[in-house]
Amino acid sequence: MEPVLIIIDLEATCCDDSSFPRSEMEIIEIGAVAVLEENGKVESEFGAFVRPIRNPKLHTFCTRLTSITQSEVDGVESFPIVMKQLVGWLGNFNEYTFCSWGAYDKNQFLQDCSFHQVPFPFGEAHRNLKKEFSSLINPKRKFGLGGAIRHLNLEFEGIHHRGIDDARNIARVYAHTIAPRRLQ
Ligand code: AMP
Ligand code: MG
C-alpha cells in the first residue's frame, strides 16, 4: 500500500476564564483522515468523541467554539479506549506520517497520553502542514485553517472547530497546494 498521511485534528476542553489551566485541557474529539501522500486523495477516516475525566463538564465557551455538546461526550469512551480504536484503525496502513495544522495537536496528544499512561501511537516524525502551507504561499504569514481555505477560494466544508471537519479541510488544503508541489 502507498504511503499515507494521517491528518489529525483534535478538539479539547477549554475555557475563556480561569476555570482550569491549559495543562488540564483534555481531548474531547479525535478527527483523523488518511490521505495518499502522493495526491491527497482520502483513503479512510476515523472520528470519535472522547469523554473528559478532569473537567467532565464542558465550559459554555467550549461548546460555543466547537459545537460539541455535553451529551456528545457524556457516556462515550474515555481516552485509553478510544486510543485502542485509533491504533486499530492505524493498523490498516503500512507506512504513515502524523500530520496536523500547527504544533498544538501533537502536544495535546502527548499531554493526554502522558496523563492516561497510554503509549503515543506515532514516532518522532510529524508534519506541520500549517507551516508547510504558509511557507509555500507567503513565508511572512501564518495561516489559520479558515484563512487557508479562503486563500484558495474554497468554502469551508462542515463546521470549523469540529475535529473531523477540520481534518477533512486540512486534507483539502494538502491536496490543492502541498501535494502538487511534491514533484516540482
Ligand atoms: P481547533 O482545532 O482550532 O478547533 O482548536 C483545537 C482546540 O484548541 C479547541 O478544541 C480548543 O480546546 C482550543 N482552542 C482553539 N481556539 C481557542 C480559543 N480561541 N480559546 C481557547 N481555546 C481554543
Ligand atoms: Mg479543530
pLDDT digits (tens, 9 = 90+) for 8-45: 999 999 999 999 999 999 999 999 999 999 999 999 99
Q: Residue 100 corresponds to which cell in the numbers above?
A: 496536523
Q: Rounded mean pLDDT of 71-78?
A: 97
CA–CA dist 16, 8 (Å, integer): 24
Question: Which ligand 1 atom minimizes the distance to the CA of 66?
Answer: 10
**What is the residue type of 114?**
S
pLDDT, position 184: 57
Which residue's C-alpha comes closest to atom 9 of ligand 1? 11
Strand partners of residue 7: 33, 99
pLDDT at position 182 over 80: no
pLDDT at position 135 over 70: yes
pLDDT, position 12: 98
Which residue's C-alpha comes closest to atom 7 of ligand 1? 11
**What is the residue type of 76?**
V
Domains in the chain: ranges and CATH = 4-182 (3.30.420.10)
Q: Rounded mean pLDDT of 135-162?
A: 97
- Residue from 10, 14, 16, 156 to probe ligand 1 pocket by mutation (most atoms less than 8 Å from CB): 14
Q: What are phi and psi for residue 47, nearest 5 degrees?
A: -145, 135
- Ligand 1 pocket, residues with Cβ under 6 angstroms: 9, 11-12, 14, 25, 65-66, 161, 166
Strand partners of residue 68: none
Q: What is the pTM of this model?
A: 0.97
